[in-house]
Structure 1
Amino acid sequence: MEDLIYELKILNASLQRMMDFFIPPQDPKMFDDFKALKAGSRNGRLFVRGITEPDPIRFYELKGIDRVVTSLRENTEHFIEALPCNNVLVHGPRGTGKSSAVKATLNEYADRGLRMIEMPRDTLFHLFEVADLIRGRHERFIAFCDDLSFEEEETSYRVLKAVLEGGLETKPANMLIYATSNRRHLMPESQKDNLPVYSAGELHPTETLEEKMSL
């Protein structure tokens, strides 16, 4: 009996490892069924799932952030109408309604084709994959990066920077990035950044600093 239990445990562990690697194909129908979605990463692979009960917050419930709400309204209106618009960073102290304002934007414009994909920081490496997933669709998509900031040793900021600045493969016209942060600059700044730059190991240390601070 003990041998059987042992073998069943081994089988269960093997099945669990197989399930960890199995990610079902992304069904485009989810963009018809859900207005709010969330990206995830499993073993380095992207998956996107629908959110069945998104936060129902509306603009009229928000107090004291009228300027933020007005800016989000105007920019999102332009986005939906395919007019010139911008990616958005809403920054300010914690608890001032930044995230609620972005979520209210979805609820305000979902019936006009707006969709929102929440992208936690550990999924930013998949930004180009998300772009490919929504490219050419009739809906308008906001990639929502909540409470975004990067630490000194992180490199995922380069993916975000590449999407924002563009390259041979441009960000699709139906995609914007809205982020919230407690920081105005997403990369940390230290006192030494304002001192004369010297590095024994790097020929052009100022270029590294400029790249970091450009985000």
Structure 2
Amino acid sequence: MVQVHVLRVFTDAAGRYGNPLGVVLDPAGLDQEERQAVAAELGFSETVFVDDVAAARLQIFTPTMELPLAGHPLVGTSWLIAQETGRPVQTLRPIKASQEVASFVEDGATWIRAAVADAPPWEHVQLADAAQVEGAAVPGPGERWQMTQVWAWADEAAGRVRARVFALAAGVAEDEACGSASLVLASRLDRALTIVHGQGSVVRARPAGPGYAEVGGFVAHDGVRAL
């Protein structure tokens, strides 16, 4: 039996919304095919398997593939390990990433700092306004926007953005709150952003020097699920 912690990452300040995440803290005995099967059964945009809690060494799976880097899985896993061990996490070690990922807490939110080059190959499409973002149809197979964050300024002067992510190429029709796409967007725009994502999740992202960016937010725990 596999015990899966179910989190919501990038909630708003009231603990609402957030992107569901599965985290398995004791995946011993699960091979790669079995991990992929667990991720597919859960159906979340990502599921994390932590092979070494003390070292925060982990793997990230979508329902169809493994990723080297993903924002909401790393933010959520950092938060969960800190809750379980009573110690803040300073370094995460996704085994497919080119380098370690820093983690820290700021104003109650959990953040990561990562190499932009390790993020999936996101396309960014700027739309005219928030209404167009909210009204965009979820693309089907073979259509446009297969790995795309569509976004618009809600308040450009304040750095507030409205966004949604479509990632059918990774087995996810729509991602409620995508940290890696937001991290890349902040890097490309070279400014700090507060992104209202999906149904109402809140992602904070900012550049962090050449080749790096940070993403952070709040996390809620929705219990443990047995598979």
TM-score when normalising by structure 1: 0.26
Higher relative contact order (CA 8 A, sep 6+): 2
Higher-helix-fraction structure: 1
Which structure is larger by alpha-carbon Rg, 1 or 2?
1
Higher-strand-fraction structure: 2
